[in-house]
Chains A and B, each alone.
Chain A
């Protein structure tokens, strides 16, 4: 049994990293908003989903115009990513304006903000479903092939304990792009003036506003950055996994939130690590659960696995693996 697990380990790591990077970037959106507003933005998973659909739409458009065959696919990819990121970023700003800012002004209880965010996520899901179904007749969409050459890394011949690994070329793309996004974000938050303002607002909103920081604008920028990253990751998801539907955002959103909690909510680097860790754990579970339990539990329990991690972390270490404990004050 152990040998079997070790054999497929490299493949599991590759798949887990791919999924983990997706979780990591989406988790950042949750963690940034939570850090600043102490609000679980339920709509974020659906912003990710909308991003993947916008990406698909742009890609289909470019295909119909003929760009896809005439331009190198890397340039097409960059254009798609840029358009999607800007659109979803603006969408995030809009969501904050419509759904959260009025509540913040009124000082409404947190419960109400949670409820509006659930409402927004439902509206997004249905609007996307409507357009997808209107255009294609089916809400499940298969993306046009891009970066789907199969690659094989024959480590079996070097280290016979392992099996061969196969992956799509899009894996490399996901890997590189998410790392670029993560580093860029880290620099943005830690080195720039806006990033400093963001950290200040997260620390203490009122004092920050006394230090002549425009709190509302900082919140808007946070939503823009988080949603743009989420939307761009949606494009990566679409290219990597091929099929998308309007309901992918829900489960993926919860898992990304789990990742954010795992890394300590409000902590951006923690969210990155939490995402990667969760992706690896989940893939490991999906691949080996059936072997470990002798067929009693199959890969269909991988979602349960992620939720159990969430519940365990929240109960035993609610501050996360990399966060600080917060004391609730009166």
Chain B
């Protein structure tokens, strides 16, 4: 009887909203009053995941999610000393989530394993870094550098464009390579970019080599210089929202369906008239552009770039986010990015500090080698293996949009009778079929 009642409660829309509102109020109050509690902060972020599972219209979810992230989280965290560090976490989650959405297009939608994805991030970061610091005056014959901070907004777009050009440049030769070689070629490409960036201080000093580029101009928003994590949080949130919107729109577009067709069977897709190279290039370019945008933001936020931030480990970290969340699943990938980033920046360091405290007080001696902050590789490795072996669909499996076959057929036959709609295109027929069979899980 209790189960029946609970079930009814869970099914009812109103009780869901009440429960959700109570949860959000409770956690934000918790965060407001217990400022140093990381747990309250994480619980508040968790509300986004609950929101995803609520039975609400998409529009309502978007609005509520935006309100929580843009107003409630900063407001309830703004009270205490840990404010900036919370916002830092939020910013990083946003950066990585947008990047993993980009990688998700390449790996999850188009099925191309890219192991050098961080290279595009590096390209974006260096684009802003070079021109917004005195570095550019070392090799540019004209212009006055560093550029002022209000050009940052242009550089977000420039970063996206340049990164997508790099994506295409990489793609043109690489995409002719057979499936699994692609992984190793992209890996090689990532390393090439890193090594070149690390050594381009001679003969012409473009990237300042291993010294990195320092004192990058912070962005300028109508005269306000943006330097805090709490301010970058909003920039990242805005870009992230745009990226998420683009990705959700793309997923069900013609291009998105072409990607999935290429992923499931390249030869069959080609036979259906999908231009292979152009489709794959689009995946590379769009994925790379998200990464490039976030690279620009990253450079502005850190005010320093050097090649050590763009290693193979970072590329794999983004891959872990995608695999953990679920390849091809947009909400899953965002969750994966949040989990890995929070694990990396908060949980591991907290545990390490706690263990350090234990060893200094002499309770138990933990060898330094065991410090969880150093165990990133092990944790990423285990996550990759466990998820690939036992749950290859990830935390939130990818769902194909449900299409009512009967209605489609009716619409198609009605469409054929009216002259302006034309005959039922083969495209709709294809959609219909692939939707009902559900596609192939990766």
| B200 vs chain A, min Cβ distance (A) | 10
**Contact yes or no, A301 B195, CB < 8 A:** yes
- Chain B interface SS verdict (over half): helix
Give the docked Cα–Cα distance between A176 and B367 (Å): 41
8 Å CB interface, A258-314 against B: 258, 261, 295-298, 300-301, 303-304, 307-308, 310-311, 314
Q: Check: A148 CB closer than 8 A to any chain B CB.
A: no
Set of chain A residues within 8 Å of B323, measured between Cβ atoms? 115
Q: Check: A71 CB closer than 8 A to any chain B CB.
A: no
B181 interface neighbour in A102, A109, A125, A314, Cβ under 8 Å: A314
| A126-B377, A133-B369 known; A295-B173 Cβ under 8 A | no
| A324 vs chain B, min Cβ distance (A) | 14
Give the docked Cα–Cα distance between A172 and B368 (Å): 40
Q: Check: A1 CB closer than 8 A to any chain B CB.
A: no
8 Å CB interface, B14-69 against A: none
Set of chain B residues within 8 Å of A300, measured between Cβ atoms? 195, 198-199
8 Å CB interface, A112-130 against B: 112-116, 118-127, 129-130
**Contact yes or no, B267 A114, CB < 8 A:** no
| A55 vs chain B, min Cβ distance (A) | 20
Give the residue name and chain of the B residue nearest to A43 (CB): B381
B178 interface neighbour in A112, A114, A116, A318, Cβ under 8 Å: A318
Contact bitstring B381-405, A, C-beta under 8 A = 1, else 0: 1111100110010000000000000
Set of chain A residues within 8 Å of B111, measured between Cβ atoms? 111
Set of chain A residues within 8 Å of B203, measured between Cβ atoms? 295-296
Give the docked Cα–Cα distance between A330 and B272 (Å): 14
Looking at A254, A304, A308, which has the most chain B CB atoms within 10 Å of its CB? A304
Give the docked Cα–Cα distance between A189 and B195 (Å): 39
8 Å CB interface, B348-378 against A: 367-370, 374-378
Give the docked Cα–Cα distance between A183 and B244 (Å): 57
Set of chain A residues within 8 Å of B370, measured between Cβ atoms? 130, 134
Give the docked Cα–Cα distance between A120 and B392 (Å): 16
Q: Check: B275 CB closer than 8 A to any chain A CB.
A: no
Q: Check: B226 CB closer than 8 A to any chain A CB.
A: no
| A119-B384, A122-B380, A318-B181 known; A112-B392 Cβ under 8 A | yes
Contact bitstring B141-182, A, C-beta under 8 A = 1, else 0: 000000000000000000000000000000001101111110
Q: Check: A103 CB closer than 8 A to any chain B CB.
A: yes
A123 interface neighbour in B176, B177, B369, B381, Cβ under 8 Å: B381
B184 interface neighbour in A103, A125, A254, Cβ under 8 Å: A254
Give the docked Cα–Cα distance between A111 and B196 (Å): 29
**Contact yes or no, A254 B375, CB < 8 A:** no
**Contact yes or no, A315 B176, CB < 8 A:** yes
Give the docked Cα–Cα distance between A118 and B184 (Å): 11
Set of chain B residues within 8 Å of A115, measured between Cβ atoms? 113, 319, 323, 384, 388
**Contact yes or no, B383 A119, CB < 8 A:** yes
Give the docked Cα–Cα distance between A296 and B189 (Å): 21
**Contact yes or no, B177 A318, CB < 8 A:** yes
Give the residue name and chain of the B residue nearest to A255 (CB): B188
Q: Check: A217 CB closer than 8 A to any chain B CB.
A: no
- Chain A interface SS verdict (over half): helix
Q: Check: A151 CB closer than 8 A to any chain B CB.
A: no
Q: Check: B274 CB closer than 8 A to any chain A CB.
A: no
| A123-B382, A301-B199 known; A314-B177 Cβ under 8 A | yes
Give the residue name and chain of the A residue nearest to B210 (CB): A300
**Contact yes or no, A119 B367, CB < 8 A:** no
**Contact yes or no, A298 B199, CB < 8 A:** yes
Q: Check: A21 CB closer than 8 A to any chain B CB.
A: no
| A99-B389, A134-B367 known; A126-B192 Cβ under 8 A | no
Q: What size tier do the contact residues of chain A reach?
A: 35 or more
Q: Check: A204 CB closer than 8 A to any chain B CB.
A: no
| B433 vs chain A, min Cβ distance (A) | 18
**Contact yes or no, B199 A308, CB < 8 A:** no
Q: What size tier do the contact residues of chain B reach?
A: 35 or more
**Contact yes or no, B196 A114, CB < 8 A:** no
Give the residue name and chain of the A residue nearest to B204 (CB): A296
Set of chain B residues within 8 Å of A120, measured between Cβ atoms? 381, 385
**Contact yes or no, A126 B180, CB < 8 A:** no
Set of chain B residues within 8 Å of A328, measured between Cβ atoms? 178, 267
| A154 vs chain B, min Cβ distance (A) | 36
8 Å CB interface, B231-248 against A: none
Q: Check: A224 CB closer than 8 A to any chain B CB.
A: no
**Contact yes or no, A122 B183, CB < 8 A:** no
Give the docked Cα–Cα distance between A27 and B392 (Å): 29
| B272 vs chain A, min Cβ distance (A) | 13
**Contact yes or no, A315 B173, CB < 8 A:** yes
Q: Check: A48 CB closer than 8 A to any chain B CB.
A: no
Set of chain B residues within 8 Å of A83, measured between Cβ atoms? none
Give the residue name and chain of the B residue nearest to A122 (CB): B381
Give the residue name and chain of the A residue nearest to B392 (CB): A112
**Contact yes or no, B199 A110, CB < 8 A:** no
**Contact yes or no, B385 A114, CB < 8 A:** no
Q: Check: A181 CB closer than 8 A to any chain B CB.
A: no
**Contact yes or no, A109 B174, CB < 8 A:** no
| B268 vs chain A, min Cβ distance (A) | 8
Set of chain B residues within 8 Å of A118, measured between Cβ atoms? 115, 316, 319, 381, 384
| B231 vs chain A, min Cβ distance (A) | 35
Give the residue name and chain of the B residue nearest to A257 (CB): B184
| A82 vs chain B, min Cβ distance (A) | 29
Q: Check: A108 CB closer than 8 A to any chain B CB.
A: yes
Q: Which residues of A contact B (CB under 8 A)?
A: 38-40, 98-99, 102-103, 108-116, 118-127, 129-130, 133-134, 137, 250-251, 254, 257-258, 261, 295-298, 300-301, 303-304, 307-308, 310-311, 314-315, 318, 328, 330
Q: Identify the 4 closest CB pairs spanning chains A and B, nearest first.
A: A122-B381, A119-B384, A133-B369, A307-B188
Q: A133-B367, A314-B185 are in contact. List 19 more A-B contacts (CB 8 A).
A: A40-B183, A108-B392, A114-B183, A116-B384, A118-B319, A119-B385, A120-B385, A121-B381, A122-B316, A126-B378, A129-B374, A130-B375, A137-B368, A300-B195, A300-B199, A304-B191, A311-B189, A318-B177, A330-B268
13 contacts between A and B (CB under 8 A): A98-B385, A110-B180, A111-B113, A115-B113, A115-B323, A119-B380, A119-B388, A123-B377, A250-B312, A300-B198, A301-B199, A307-B191, A330-B268
